Structure 1
Amino acid sequence: MDHFPIFLAVEGRRIVVSGGGETALAKLRILLKTTARITVLSGAPAPDLVKLADQGKITLIARAFGPGDALCAALVYAANDDAAEDARVARLARADGALVNIVDNLEDSAFITPAIVDRDPVTIAIGTEGAAPVLARAIKADLEERLPVSLGLAARVGKAFRKAAEALPMGRKRRDFWADYYFNAAPKVVETQGAAGLDAALSELLAKHLADAPTEGRVDLVGAGPGDPELLTLKARRLLDRADVVIHDRLVSPGILELARREAILIDAGKEGFGPSMTQAQICALMVDHGKRGAHVVRLKGGDPAIFSRLDEEIEALEAAGIAWSIVPGITAASAAAAGIGQALTKRGRNASLRIVTGHDMKGFAEQDWRGLARPGTVAAIYMGARGARFIQGRLMMHGADPATPVTAVENASRPDMRSIATTLGQLAATLEAEVLTGPVILLYGLCPRTAEAALPLPHPTSLADRKEEFA
């Protein structure tokens, strides 16, 4: 993002506009919604500008912008519909120390004015960094329709009540009160009693929330999916928005963490195979500690929480501490990787089952039913298998797997930088050792990318006994 969005305090401060035509008037329609002191400079002001000055809404100076006119100004707009004049105004204003916007000149402007949805004091700013003004206007129109005009009234009354609401403890308890007010009490009261009933409604609601029992903590064990934020489930998205604490794995993408509330505590509980890790005991202790303090905790796990994530150990720790929990499934990496190469994980006539195995466990490279995996027609998703590729290759071929069996390594499944590396079992270790793999990798044994499927020879469906001479 090239422009950092902020809300600038302008109450009582000067905003200067240079220009006297329609462009200047368009900016004033937004600026007049503020409590700033607005000065307009123009040698030939339009009649509507003169009228605004007569009404006391602006200070109109009937001359061109000059040196010193931007002193102590919070913002300056160059809106003269003349590139040379706008450049001159911008140069003088910068010399006075002001932030300058040249209308329709993004490159030379220090700030941009977003499209605004005004439900004062609720203000929604929509910006596209100049790339798509039409899109910003469409979003504005959509939000205008969705947000009732009474929202601003409820917010103004609520703003005056914030001090009283501090009687509630900071965090989830206080958020529940305000959510109850804005989404339940306020709309009903405004509809039936109007603004007059809001003060009493707030006092009654606060008394009710103060009398309620302390909020109990809970932990939701949530699948973050393979990395693409759009593959997050609606339920997972909603829980992230409500969580006080998010304890996340290393493989959870930054785009998904961005969906957490800004006030939420984010704790990296990342683990890396054969590398530094937070211990499982530490992770369980964190969940229990925050849960006992009444926090809503989201334990965010890459992929699906029920696949190779030590879910049972975390549930046992929560149950032992008496903390409520739930599981929210996620899309697992095997599904995303297969989708990325255009293949199904099961296919009639090819494989009626799918094996999901891990390349390593806590003790190192993991032993599997290699004889079963080596049978012709087997399809397996091997998680965390890249570093153990030579070990996996050796075990499978030792138990009779055809070296021509297709294997696809998928790195960063579902993410923008996803890539697939098609090879065969006989070339697996050499192929992966020649690649620079920095992201999470899943091996799809028995599958190749659909575009390459026809080019790779299929394993010959013979038994190990029929092929004993190859291994003699």
Structure 2
Amino acid sequence: MDYFPIFLKLAKQPCLVVGAGSCAARKIELLARAGAEITVVAHDISAQVAAMQATHRLTIYRKYVERSDIEGYKLVISATNDTAVNTRVSQYATQAGIWVNVVDSPALCHFIFPAIVDRAPLTIAISSGGVSPVLARLLRAKIETVIAPSYGVLAGLAEKFRETVKKQISRPANRRIFWENVLQGRVAELVFAGQHDAAERELTDAIARLDTQMTHAASGEVYLIGAGPGAADLLTFRALRLMQQADVVVYDRLVSGEILDLARRDAEKIYVGKERSQHALPQDDINDLLVKLAKEGKRVARLKGGDPFIFGRGGEEIETLMAQHIAFQVVPGITAANGCASYAGIPLTHRDYAQSCVFVTGHLKDDSVHLNWTQLAAPNQTIVIYMGLIGLEKICDALIAHGSEPTLPIAVIEKGTTPAQRVIVGTLSTLPTKIRHERLEAPTLIIIGHVVSLHEKLRWFAQ
């Protein structure tokens, strides 16, 4: 993050604009909307800026800018087409300890202007860090189509009743729950339908029902969420919505930082990841933690890589929740098998190669992999092995010993669906030796079967 996003209160604050052309006029308009007291210094004053003197109460000095003109301002903006003038203004402001913006010259700026979606009192700012203002404007145009002007009315309604709600609900967590229900429920729908008076009556009624609502909210809830195979944009809409309203996020080792960043900024984050022989928390303790947090009235997002019901022990967790009468939701995720296979160009079923697909875990126990090898060695099927990297050589030897061809294709997919994805292909007899010096890192997934031979033909995701 090259620039820290921040909103400034400029009402009645002195701001200086150097320049008086069309670009300067746009900056003056923005400052005026924020209520700033604006001074303009320029040798030539355009008709557009001159006309703004009365409407925006500008103080205009028709002169060349000097060092003394810079002093005493909160912000300085240089919007001339003279590089030398812009450079001097930047130097003067820097020496005076004043934030300065030089239009189209990020190197001379302390701050830059974002593209703005104005739904007062709601404001959305988009910035490319000065790298591509055009891209920021294109994104603004997309957001403009999604965020209707009614959102400003909704924000104003929330502002009107904010203090009333604050007095009646002392706990910040409960206030947050109340406002989320309001802003996503009937009140919001009435505002969007243009029925503003009805929306205000509905909000008044909701405040009157606060005691009942807070009693219900205090019970807490757990969201068991499949975070998918790795890429953040493979999350479901429901997963994202629940993550962003959770008070606590309890997450596993396979949940990426990119996905965690999508959770609420102020949410507590608790790591409970497991590695081979190294568990941050035993499973029973994780189950108890979810119960404890929910009984404290918190909304808990339990994030698991892939899908929580496929080798994710999600069933054990919700059994505990049900036994303790804790409300919960389950949000399926794209399991690693589907995600990694798709991104590797390996279809798990194909009428010419495989009529069935089997998911198994290759986790070692007592230095052995305990699986039904006779069943797995059957022809015309695909085998997907989770957590099988450590035991890969034993897996390949066992399949060959039970009748699989040594030339049967096999692939190891490392960090599937992410920019760091690698796919290493071989056969049952060659792959264990081939990967010995590859320094593979978790997460990995193993796919065995003739469908693997399609990888070179169907690969589409850059490796």
Query: What's the TM-score, normalizing by structure 1?
Result: 0.88
1:329 counterpart = 2:361: no
Residue by residue over 1:421-462, the C-alpha shift from the partner in whole angstroms, topping out at 9 and shown as x without a partner, is 0111112222222102123111111243525479xxxxxxxx
**Residue type of the alignment partner of 1:205:** A
- 2:176 is matched with 175
Unaligned runs of 5+ in 2: 459-463
Using the alignment, how far apart are the partners of 1:279 and 1:147 within structure 2?
44
1:14 counterpart = 2:14: yes
Contact 2:272-2:279 within 8 A present in 1 as well:
no
**Residue type of the alignment partner of 2:452:** C
1:387-466 paired onto structure 2 within 5 Å: 387-446=390-449, 447-448=451-452, 450-452=454-456
**Residue type of the alignment partner of 1:337:** C
Unaligned runs of 5+ in 1: 455-472
Contact 1:189-1:201 within 8 A present in 2 as well:
no
- 2:78 is matched with 78
- 2:461 is matched with none
Using the alignment, how far apart are the partners of 1:272 and 1:428 within structure 2?
24
Residue by residue over 1:16-43, the C-alpha shift from the partner in whole angstroms, topping out at 9 and shown as x without a partner, is 1111211111111211111222221112
Range with greater deviation from structure 2 (151-160 or 218-227): 151-160
Using the alignment, how far apart are the partners of 2:101 and 2:144 within structure 1?
26
- 1:470 is matched with none
Distance 1:56 1:136, change over 3 A: closer
Answer with 1 or 2: which has the greater Rg.
1
- 2:206 is matched with 205
Q: Give the secondary structure class of the aligned counterpart of 1:162.
A: helix
Contact 2:255-2:303 within 8 A present in 1 as well:
yes
Tell me how large the CA RMSD over aligned residues is.
2.6
**Residue type of the alignment partner of 1:43:** H
**Residue type of the alignment partner of 1:372:** Q
Deviation at residue 176 of structure 1 after TM alignment? 3.8
Distance 1:282 1:190, change over 3 A: closer
**Residue type of the alignment partner of 2:210:** H
Contact 1:223-1:303 within 8 A present in 2 as well:
yes
Of 310, 315, 326, which residue of structure 2 is paired with 1:312?
Answer: 315
**Residue type of the alignment partner of 2:124:** I
Query: What's the TM-score, normalizing by structure 2?
Result: 0.89
Using the alignment, how far apart are the partners of 1:186 and 1:453 within structure 2?
50
Distance 1:14 1:171, change over 3 A: same
Distance 1:208 1:26, change over 3 A: same
Distance 1:427 1:146, change over 3 A: closer
Residue by residue over 1:250-288, the C-alpha shift from the partner in whole angstroms, topping out at 9 and shown as x without a partner, is 101222222212232222111112334321122111110
Using the alignment, how far apart are the partners of 1:395 and 1:55 within structure 2?
84
Distance 1:376 1:204, change over 3 A: closer
Contact 1:14-1:37 within 8 A present in 2 as well:
yes
Distance 1:242 1:45, change over 3 A: same
Residue by residue over 1:208-259, the C-alpha shift from the partner in whole angstroms, topping out at 9 and shown as x without a partner, is 2234333132212111110112211222222212222221111012222222
- 1:37 is matched with 37
Distance 1:311 1:366, change over 3 A: farther
**Residue type of the alignment partner of 1:173:** N
Of 252, 257, 260, which residue of structure 2 is paired with 1:257?
Answer: 260
Of 187, 190, 197, which residue of structure 2 is paired with 1:188?
Answer: 190
Range with greater deviation from structure 2 (210-219 or 94-103): 210-219
Deviation at residue 296 of structure 1 after TM alignment? 1.9
- 2:162 is matched with 162
1:7-406 paired onto structure 2 within 5 Å: 7-55=7-55, 57-166=57-166, 167-171=168-172, 173-183=174-184, 184-185=186-187, 188=190, 202-212=203-213, 213-215=215-217, 216-360=219-363, 365-406=368-409
Using the alignment, how far apart are the partners of 2:427 and 2:292 within structure 1?
48
Using the alignment, how far apart are the partners of 2:405 and 2:51 within structure 1?
87
**Residue type of the alignment partner of 2:348:** L
Using the alignment, how far apart are the partners of 1:243 and 1:274 within structure 2?
30
Aligned residues: 453
Distance 1:200 1:223, change over 3 A: closer
Distance 1:429 1:324, change over 3 A: same
Distance 1:151 1:337, change over 3 A: closer
Contact 1:23-1:81 within 8 A present in 2 as well:
no
Using the alignment, how far apart are the partners of 1:438 and 1:407 within structure 2?
18
Using the alignment, how far apart are the partners of 1:153 and 1:313 within structure 2?
45
Using the alignment, how far apart are the partners of 1:210 and 1:363 within structure 2?
56
Deviation at residue 340 of structure 1 after TM alignment? 2.1
Range with greater deviation from structure 2 (85-94 or 445-454): 445-454
Using the alignment, how far apart are the partners of 1:149 and 1:222 within structure 2?
33
